[in-house]
C-alpha cells in the first residue's frame, strides 16, 4: 500500500482580539475573531515528524496581536490580506494561506440623548466576515460575508403549489412567518477596494430585498436577494447564500374553541429547512471552496 | 427513618411563543419564553403516585398559547400575573404559582430610510424578564429584570489598592476595559402598574450610571447602579445585580519590541469574576428567593 | 432615601484545571472546574470604592493552582473544604466562603484489550460536584451532587389519572419513554468523611431506583429515588433532585397508513417539564440556599 | 447582466428521531439525527417561484419517521442509502441526494451488576456518522465517520524543532498533554457492506494509534492514524481527519515558589490549533466535497 497525503492544512482558529482605537476622548471598539490556515509542502511533518518547516500556530496567534498593534486594522478584508501575505512570507513551505476575520458588533450607548464616548452595548449575533486566500504570485481571492443575521418577515410570504407524495402532510399557505439566519459570502472581482462601502451596500440590498420580496418560497426569496446583489454591486462576481428556514409553527387552538388567524406561533430550532444557492455572473469560478477555515 | 417531602415544585419551562400583533399593515412581533412552576400540596403524587391533583405541564403549555390568543399580552409582568392567577384557579392543590416571562427583542428593519411594516432583525442577547409569584389571598410579588445585557466601557475604570497575599500576581491598573453581562432583578412595591415605563426608566438609569461612573471596581459600579435605581424609581423596593467580570487581558507585546498602551486585549470567557449584590430600602424582604423558576 | 447593601458576594467562577497524577507509568487525569465566592464585610468596596479588604479574584484563581500543586487533591469535597478554609484565612473581611468543585470524567482507553497507561476518552456530560460553605468557628456545610446525568427508561413509565381542564389535550399513557437529566445535591451530616465511597453509593442508589421503579410520574420516581438514598445512606441528611422531563413525543404515523406502537419518537428540547423536590430527615435545615455559586 | 444559478441545494436538517427496538423484554435505543439535501433542476423554484418540483422539507421529515417504522434501521450507512434512493425516486428534479445520519450513543445501565433491560445513560459527545451521496444510475458514495471523539494523552507527546521567527515565544517541549476532538470521515470502496464491523475496526485503529504513537506533533500523529486505517482496512479508500489542538497550558507557579513538573494545566477552548489532512490510496477522488450537508 502507498498512503498518499492528498491534502493538508494547519493553523490557528478562534484567535480573539479587541483593539481599542482612540481619537481623543472618543473610543472605538474593534472586536475580532481571526482564523488562519496554511497549506503547502508539509509532508515531512506528517510522515516523519520533522517540524523544521512548521511555523507554530502559537506564533500565528502572536502575529495577529503584533500586527494589530503595528498598524491600523482597516477593514476586515485588509487585515486578512495583510495577515495572509505575512504568513506566506513567514512560511517558506506554505503555498497558500487562508485568513478569516470575523468582526463582532458593539453599539455605542446613548446616554442622556448623546452617543457616549467610551461605553458600548454588544450587538446582535450578526458578524461581518472576510475570507482572504493568498497564493504566491497571484492576486488574493477576497470574499466578504455576513453570518447569523437573523431576520423575520410576517407578511408577503407563501408556500404552495409544491410536489406532494404519500408522506406529505404540510398544508399550503398564502401567509406565513418567514424567519431565517442569513449566512452569505460573496467574491469580489480583482481590484475591488472600498470594502466598507461595498459591504454596507450588499447588506442593504440583501435586507431590502428580503423585506420587500413577495415570497413564494425560501428559494424564491434567496435567489431574488442574490440577484439584486449582482445587479447593484458590479464588484461582486458571485454570491452564495444559505438560509435555514427557522420554522414558526401555527398553534392549533381549535381544541380550546379558538381560531388562530396566523397570530400565535411556536418558533422551533429543530428540525430546520436549509436552502442554499450560489448565483454567479460567470460559472467558471466558484466561491465554495474558498470560504472555510474552521 | 421518616423521609419528609420538605419542598416540591413542578411546571413547564421554555414554552416558546411568538405572537404577531397587527394594526392594519403594521405588525409587531412579541417573542416570549414562559416558565411556569407550581408549589403546594402534591405529596401524594410523590409518595404514592396519585396524579389526581396534578395538572399536566402539557396543559400549562396549552394554556399559555390559549391565553395569549384570548386577550392582548400587555406587559410581560401583566401576562405573567394573569397566568399565575389562572394556574392558582386551575389547580386546587397549588398554594403558589411562579411565572417567568422573558421577552426577546426584534428590531424593525429600516428599508429605504423608513421603518418597515413587517420585517425585523433579531436584537442582541438582552432579555426583558418578569417574575411573578402568586399566592392565594395575597398580592403577587412582581419582579422585573434584565438578563444578558452585555456592555463594555473602555475608560473610567480602575482596579487598585486591593489586598495582596503570596498568591497575588495581578497588577494594579488605573485604566482597564470593564466588560460585563448585566443580570438584574428588582422588586416593585405593591400597586406599581406602569411596568413598561418603569422598566425603561430603570434600564436607562442602569446604563447611564454604568457609562458615567468613575469605577474603582465592579463592586463600586454595581452598587452605584443599584443606588441610582432606588434613587430615581420610587416604585422599586429592592434590586439585585449580578455582573460577571468579562476579563479583557492586556496582551504582552514586549517580546516583539512593542508597547501596548491599553490597546490590544484578549477577551476571555473563562474564568470570570462574579460580583453580586442586593441593595434595598428595607432589609425585611429579599428578592432572592422569588426570582428563579428554571 | 437610605440604600442598604442587603447582601453581597464576589469571587471567581469557571477556574478550569487539569491535574496530572502520576504513579510510575500510570497516569490519572483530574479535570476540575472551581467556583469561589466570598461574603462578608465588603461594604466600603461597594459604597466608596475602597478595595483594601478585597482579595482579587485573580488571586483566588492563582490559589487554586498553587494549592492543587502543594498537595494531593483528594476528593472534590476535600479540595473544596481546603480552599474554603484558606480563603477565610486569607480574607479578614469574609465571613463566609463558598467553594464549588465540579469534576469532569475521563475514561481510560482500552487498547488491545488492556487499560492504557496514559490515554483517555472524555466521558459523558455527567459531573460530580461538591459545594462547601465555610463559616468562621463552624463546621463547614458539605453538599455533594451530580449534574447532567442523562438517563432514559423505555418501559415501566406511565402517566395517567391526572387533573384535566379545558386546556388539557394530553393523552393518558401506560407506557412512555421517560428521559431526564438528573441534577441532584445532598447534604452530609457533620462528620461524614468517606466522600468517594458515599458518592458512589448515592449514585448507584439513584440509578438503581430510576431503572427499577414502576413510574406513575416523574414526581413519583424522583421521590422514590430520594427516599432510597435517605434509606441507604445514613450520612445523608437531605437530598434535592431536579429532573427535567425531556419529552419524547410519539410520532403520528396514521397519515401514512402506519401504526406506531411506541416505537418512533421525536426527542425534544423545548419546552420541558421540570420537577424538583427536596426530601429530608429533618425539616429544620434546607439544602437550597447553600448550593449555588455561579 | 445575466445572473446564473451556479449551484443549489435544499433539504431538511436536524431531524431528530429515537427508535425503540424491542426483543422481548430487552430494549435497544437508536437515537439518530438525520440531515437531507437534494440538488438538481430546481431553477424555476428560484427564479420564478414555481414550486411544482419542490418536495417540501416537511415531507422529507415525515419520510424519515415512516421509513424508520416500515423496516429495521440497520446500520446508519444502510438507512442513509435507503433514504437517498427514496428521495431520488420521490423527486424527479433531483439529480443528487445527500443524506447524513448521525447516531448518538446510549449505554445500558448496569444495575445490581447486570445490564438492565430498558434503562440507559447518555454516552459522550462522540457520534457515529454516515454520509451517503446518491446519484441516478450510479453507485452511491458511502462515507463513514466519527465526530467529537474527545481524547487526551498525557505522555509520548512532544513538540520541538519547529520554525521560529520574531513572533515566536512558544517553548519547545518533550512532554506535553495532547488533547483533541477527533472528527474523521472515510470513504468506502464500492461494494463494502459490513459497515458495523468496519466502523468498529477503524475506530479501534484510530484510538490504538493515538494512544501508542510517539507524537512529535499533531500532524505526525494524525497522519499515523490515517495511515494505520488504510493499512488495516482494505475497504477504506481514503480518510480525512481533523484534530483541533485543545491546548492545555502549563501554569507558571514560580511566583509562588513552586515548580510545575508537567502537573498543573489550564485547559483552554480558545484559541485552538486546527490540523487537517486527507490521506488516500488514490489521488483521483476526494472525500472532501461529499461530506457536508448542514
CA closest to A258 among chain C residues: C167
CA C260 to chain centre: 37
Residue D143 · residue D290 · CB < 8 Å:
yes
CA closest to A52 among chain D residues: D162
Contacting A residues, span 152-191, partner chain D, CB-CB under 8 Å: 159-165, 167-170
- B255-288 per-position pLDDT tens digit: 999 999 999 999 999 999 999 999 999 645 445 4
The Cα–Cα gap between C286 and B85 comes to: 28
- D164-205 per-position pLDDT tens digit: 999 999 999 999 999 999 999 999 999 999 999 999 999 999
Cell numbers found for residue C67: 494549592
The Cα–Cα gap between B251 and B261 comes to: 10
Q: Burial level of B48, CB count in 10 A (0-12/13-18/19+)?
A: exposed
- Cell numbers 412579541: residue: B30
* Interchain contact, B7 vs C52, CB within 8 Å: no
Q: Which pTM does this prediction carry?
A: 0.95
* Interchain contact, D54 vs A219, CB within 8 Å: yes
The Cα–Cα gap between B287 and D22 comes to: 51
The predicted structure's pLDDT at residue B236: 97
- Cell numbers 490580506: residue: A81
Whole-complex ipTM: 0.94
Q: Kindly report the backbone phi and psi dihedral angles of residue D43, in degrees, each rounded to the nearest multiple of 5, phi listed first.
A: -60, -45
CA closest to C90 among chain B residues: B165
- A162-215 per-position pLDDT tens digit: 999 999 999 999 999 999 999 999 999 999 999 999 999 999 999 999 999 999
The predicted structure's pLDDT at residue A2: 76
- D262-288 per-position pLDDT tens digit: 999 999 999 999 999 999 996 454 454
User: Is residue D247 among the annotated active site residues?
Assistant: yes
Q: Say which of B13, B46, B160 has its CB closest to residue C220.
A: B46
Tally: H helices and E strands in chain C: 5, 10
- B122-161 per-position pLDDT tens digit: 999 999 999 999 999 999 999 999 999 999 999 999 999 9
CA closest to A253 among chain C residues: C167
- A225-256 per-position pLDDT tens digit: 999 999 999 999 999 999 999 999 999 999 99
- Cell numbers 407550581: residue: B38
The predicted structure's pLDDT at residue B292: 42
- A28-54 per-position pLDDT tens digit: 999 999 999 999 999 999 999 999 999
> How many C-beta neighbours within 10 Å does residue C175 have?
12
The predicted structure's pLDDT at residue D192: 92
User: Is residue C57 among the annotated active site residues?
Assistant: yes
Q: How many beta-carbon contacts under 8 Å exist across A and D?
A: 264
Beta-carbon-side half-sphere exposure of residue A111 (alpha carbons within 13 Å): 18
User: How far, in Å, are A236, A245, B42, B191, C203 from residue C180 at the CA level?
Assistant: 50, 29, 20, 40, 15
- Which of A57, A232, A278, A280 is labelled catalytic? A57
- Residues 6 or more apart from A230 whose CB is under 8 A from it? A236, A239, A279, A280, A281, D1, D3
Picking from A282, A207, A229, the residue whose alpha carbon sits closest to that of residue D5 is A282
- A129-138 per-position pLDDT tens digit: 999 999 999 9
Residue C279 · residue C247 · CB < 8 Å:
no
- D63-99 per-position pLDDT tens digit: 999 999 999 999 999 999 999 999 999 999 999 999 9
β pairing state of D4-23 and D26-40: antiparallel
* Interchain contact, D169 vs B270, CB within 8 Å: no
D46 falls in which pLDDT band (50, 70, 90)?
very high
Q: E-strand spans in A136-280? A: 141-153, 178-188, 236-245, 248-250, 264-267, 272-280
Give mean pLDDT, residues B77-95: 98
> How many C-beta neighbours within 10 Å does residue D26 have?
12
* Interchain contact, C167 vs A269, CB within 8 Å: no
Give D134 to chain A, closest Cα distance, Å: 19
CATH architecture for the domain at D9-138: Roll (3.10)
Q: Say which of D256, D269, D270 has its CB closest to residue B167.
A: D256
- B180-221 per-position pLDDT tens digit: 999 999 999 999 999 999 999 999 999 999 999 999 999 999
Beta-carbon-side half-sphere exposure of residue C67 (alpha carbons within 13 Å): 20
User: Is residue A57 among the annotated active site residues?
Assistant: yes
The Cα–Cα gap between A106 and C50 comes to: 31
- Which of D33, D57, D232, D280 is labelled catalytic? D57
Question: Does the CA dihedral A203-A205-A208-A213 come out positive or negative?
Answer: negative
SS3 A204: helix
Q: Say which of C8, C55, C223 has its CB closest to residue B46.
A: C223
Helix intervals (H) in D130-194: none
Give the containing element (helix H, strand E) for D114.
strand D114-135
SS3 C54: coil
DSSP conformation letters of chain B: ---EEEEEEEEEEEEEEEEEEEETTEEEEEEEEEEEEEEES-HHHHHT---TT---HHHHHHHHHHHHHHS---SHHHHHHHHHHHHHHH-TTEEEEEEEEEEEEEEEEEETTEEEEEEEEEEEEEEEEEEEEEETTSPPEEEEEEEEEEEEESSSB-B-S----TT--PPPBSS--EEEEEEEEEEEPTT---HHHHHHHHHHHHHHHHHH--BSSHHHHHHHHHHHHHHH-TTEEEEEEEEEE--EEEP--GGGT---SS-EEEE--SSEEEEEEEEES-TT--SGGGS---
Please list every residue in chain D whose beta carbon sits closer than 8 Å to the beta carbon of residue B269. Answer: 269-270
SS3 C176: coil
pLDDT over threshold 90, residue D147: yes
Contacting A residues, span 22-81, partner chain D, CB-CB under 8 Å: 35, 37, 42, 45-59, 61-63, 66
Q: How many beta-carbon contacts under 8 Å exist across B and D?
A: 9
Picking from C134, C137, C16, the residue whose alpha carbon sits closest to that of residue C86 is C134
- Residues 6 or more apart from B182 whose CB is under 8 A from it? B146, B148, B149, B150, B151, B206, B210, B241, B242, B243
* B269 in contact with chain D, both atoms CB, cutoff 8 A: yes
Q: Kindly report the backbone phi and psi dihedral angles of residue C223, in degrees, each rounded to the nearest multiple of 5, phi listed first.
A: -65, -40
* Interchain contact, D15 vs A269, CB within 8 Å: no
* Interchain contact, D152 vs C106, CB within 8 Å: yes
Please list every residue in chain C whose beta carbon sits closer than 8 Å to the beta carbon of residue D62. Answer: 255-256
Please list every residue in chain A whose beta carbon sits closer than 8 Å to the beta carbon of residue B67. Answer: none
The predicted structure's pLDDT at residue B289: 46
Give mean pLDDT, residues D101-111: 98
* Interchain contact, C59 vs B5, CB within 8 Å: no
CA closest to D112 among chain C residues: C208
Give A192 to chain C, closest Cα distance, Å: 45
Cell numbers found for residue A255: 381544541
Q: Say which of A166, A255, A270 has its CB closest to residue C256.
A: A166
Give C77 to chain D, closest Cα distance, Å: 19
Q: E-strand spans in A72-161? A: 94-111, 114-135, 141-153
A1 falls in which pLDDT band (50, 70, 90)?
low
Q: Which of C102, C117, C118 to probe by mutation at the D interface, max D CB count within 10 Å?
A: C118
Q: Say which of B166, B269, B270 has its CB closest to residue D256.
A: B166
For residue A21, list its beta bridge partners.
Answer: A28
* Interchain contact, A68 vs B264, CB within 8 Å: yes
* Interchain contact, B155 vs A118, CB within 8 Å: yes
Q: A79-85, long-range: CB within 8 Å, 24+ apart, which pairs?
A: A79/A32, A79/A34, A79/A130, A80/A34, A80/A130, A80/A131, A80/A132, A80/A142, A81/A132, A81/A134, A81/A140, A81/A142, A83/A34, A83/A36, A83/A132, A84/A132, A84/A133, A84/A134, A84/A140, A85/A134, A85/A140
Q: What are the per-10-residue average pLDDT scores of chain C (294 residues)?
A: 90 98 97 98 98 98 98 97 98 98 98 97 98 97 98 98 98 97 97 96 98 98 98 97 98 98 97 98 54 41
Give D211 to chain C, closest Cα distance, Å: 6
Contacting A residues, span 87-126, partner chain D, CB-CB under 8 Å: 90-91
Q: Say which of A17, A25, A119 has its CB closest to residue B153.
A: A119
β pairing state of C114-135 and D272-280: unpaired
The predicted structure's pLDDT at residue A174: 96
* B244 in contact with chain C, both atoms CB, cutoff 8 A: yes
pLDDT over threshold 60, residue B291: no
Please list every residue in chain B whose beta carbon sits closer than 8 Å to the beta carbon of residue A210. Answer: 119
* Interchain contact, B258 vs A69, CB within 8 Å: yes
Average pLDDT, chain A: 95
Q: Which of C154, C155, C255, C262 to probe by mutation at the D interface, max D CB count within 10 Å?
A: C154
Q: Which chains touch C (3 or more CB pairs under 8 A)?
A: A, B, D
Cell numbers found for residue B273: 469574576
A90 falls in which pLDDT band (50, 70, 90)?
very high
CATH architecture for the domain at C146-294: Roll (3.10)
The predicted structure's pLDDT at residue C2: 76
Q: At what angle do helices C218-232 and C195-212 cross, to 10 degrees?
A: 140
- B212-224 per-position pLDDT tens digit: 999 999 999 999 9
The Cα–Cα gap between B279 and C43 comes to: 11
pLDDT over threshold 60, residue B1: no
Please list every residue in chain C whose beta carbon sits closer than 8 Å to the beta carbon of residue D265. Answer: 17-20
The predicted structure's pLDDT at residue A292: 42
B18 falls in which pLDDT band (50, 70, 90)?
very high
Residues of chain A with CATH 3.10.270.10: 9-138, 146-294
- D49-64 per-position pLDDT tens digit: 999 999 999 999 999 9
Please list every residue in chain D whose beta carbon sits closer than 8 Å to the beta carbon of residue B253. Answer: none
pLDDT over threshold 60, residue A61: yes
Amino acid at each position: 500500500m502507498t498512503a498518499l497525503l492528498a491534502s493538508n492544512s494547519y493553523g490557528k482558529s478562534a484567535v480573539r482580539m479587541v483593539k481599542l482605537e482612540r481619537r481623543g476622548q472618543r473610543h472605538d471598539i474593534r472586536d475580532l475573531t481571526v482564523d488562519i490556515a496554511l497549506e503547502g509542502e508539509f509532508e515531512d511533518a506528517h510522515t516523519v515528524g520533522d517540524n523544521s518547516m512548521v511555523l507554530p500556530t502559537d506564533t500565528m496567534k502572536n502575529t495577529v496581536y503584533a500586527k494589530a498593534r503595528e498598524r491600523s486594522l482597516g477593514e476586515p478584508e485588509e487585515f486578512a490580506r495583510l495577515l495572509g501575505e505575512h504568513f506566506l512570507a513567514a512560511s517558506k513551505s506554505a503555498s497558500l494561506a487562508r485568513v478569516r476575520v470575523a468582526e463582532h458588533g458593539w453599539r455605542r450607548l446613548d446616554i442622556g440623548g448623546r452617543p457616549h464616548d467610551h461605553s458600548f452595548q454588544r450587538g446582535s449575533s450578526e458578524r461581518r466576515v472576510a475570507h482572504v486566500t493568498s497564493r504566491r504570485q497571484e492576486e488574493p481571492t477576497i470574499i466578504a460575508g455576513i453570518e447569523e443575521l437573523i431576520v423575520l418577515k410576517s407578511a408577503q410570504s407563501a408556500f404552495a403549489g409544491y410536489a406532494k407524495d404519500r408522506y406529505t402532510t404540510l398544508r399550503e399557505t398564502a401567509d406565513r412567518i418567514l424567519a431565517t439566519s442569513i449566512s452569505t459570502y460573496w467574491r469580489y472581482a480583482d481590484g475591488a477596494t472600498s470594502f466598507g462601502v461595498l459591504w454596507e451596500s450588499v447588506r442593504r440590498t440583501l435586507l431590502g430585498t428580503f423585506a420587500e420580496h413577495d415570497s413564494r418560497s425560501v428559494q424564491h426569496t434567496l435567489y431574488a436577494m442574490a440577484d439584486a446583489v449582482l445587479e447593484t454591486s458590479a464588484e461582486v462576481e458571485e454570491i452564495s447564500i444559505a438560509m435555514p428556514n427557522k420554522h414558526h409553527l401555527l398553534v392549533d387552538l381549535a381544541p380550546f374553541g379558538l381560531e388562530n388567524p396566523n397570530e400565535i406561533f411556536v418558533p422551533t430550532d429543530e428540525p430546520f429547512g436549509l436552502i442554499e444557492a450560489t448565483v454567479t455572473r460567470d460559472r467558471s469560478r466558484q466561491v465554495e471552496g474558498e470560504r472555510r477555515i474552521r
